[in-house]
Amino acid sequence: MTKEGEKVLPSFQIIAQEEARIQRIAKSIVGLEESKLSLGVISSVGISYLPDILKGFLKLYPQVEYECFPCTYETVQNGISDGMIDCGFLSSFVKNNELEFIPLWEDEFVVLIPRGRALSQKEELDIEEIKSERMILVSGEEEHDLNKIFEEHNIRPDIAMRSTDAVSALKLVEKGFGIGIFSKVILEGIEVWQNVEVRHFTKHYSRVLGLAIQKGQMLSPTSEKFVRYVQEYSQVENR
């Protein structure tokens, strides 16, 4: 690409993003039943709240076409900024000045301990007590958020293993490879586990899961309806 082309490329990208957004809004004006909704979905929300949300929203607007993209925090942010998705789920530990974050659910972190370990004899744990323990972490969003907590307490975790899959990570804890720190939302998506004790921290550590949209831009009618529906759904869930 020429130097002149490199100079004008960002402007063309902005124009293309805006054109895509206008097309989505124009289609939605025709009627929600003819519109499309593109969502960026992180794993914790995908295995917990999202199925019921989509089921309920689909009853209200059965002809809306959904696209749900499995995403990381980074791809959710990029997808919204680039206009590729309408909205996406993130946690409060993600800071992005270009996005508006709508808080929905509090999600507490708990400690999973192989049965029989000394730590399991305690009802609650101080975060300092896990410093010397080998840890099994779920990589991706969970590890990102936990690292923020570790940094706050100057903890350098002794990571025995990482797994991209929460079930696999839990199995490693069951087999005694280390303790695990999981969010409760992730755990609720795993039906059965054995030989593991669950303990809370003395000071509870939580993240907030929520919905992110582009700041300062008008939502399509479909996206606006979806955001409102999710907010109402979360209010019922949080009672």
Where is 70: in which H helix or E strand?
strand 65-70
58 — phi, psi (to 5°)?
Answer: -65, -30
Supply the pLDDT for residue 162.
Answer: 95
What residue ranges of the chain have pLDDT lower than 50?
Answer: 5, 7-9, 11-12, 15, 28-30, 33
Same topology, domains 3-105+208-237 and 108-207? Answer is: yes
* Nearest-angstrom CA–CA distance, 176 and 194: 12
Q: SS3 of 82, please?
A: helix
| pTM for this predicted structure | 0.84
Q: Answer left, alpha or beta for residue 18, where phi above 0 means left and psi between -120 and 50 means alpha.
A: alpha
Supply the pLDDT for residue 153.
Answer: 94
Supply the pLDDT for residue 5.
Answer: 46
Supply the pLDDT for residue 110.
Answer: 96
Q: Map tokens 């499309």 to a residue.
A: 36
Q: Which of 198, 192, 182, 205 is nearest to 114 (CA)?
A: 198
Supply the pLDDT for residue 194.
Answer: 83
| DSSP structural state of residue 108 | E
Q: Crossing angle for the helix pair 50-60 and 221-237, nearest 10 degrees?
A: 130
| DSSP structural state of residue 152 | H
As assigned by CATH, the class of the 108-207 domain is: alpha beta
Supply the pLDDT for residue 1.
Answer: 56
Domain boundaries, the chain: 3-105+208-237, 108-207
Which superfamily does CATH assign the domain made up of 3-105+208-237 to?
Answer: Periplasmic binding protein-like II (3.40.190.10)
Q: Which of 84, 172, 218 is nearest to 181 (CA)?
A: 172
Q: Map tokens 């989509």 to a residue.
A: 54
Q: Is the dihedral of CA 213, 214, 218, 223 positive or negative?
A: negative
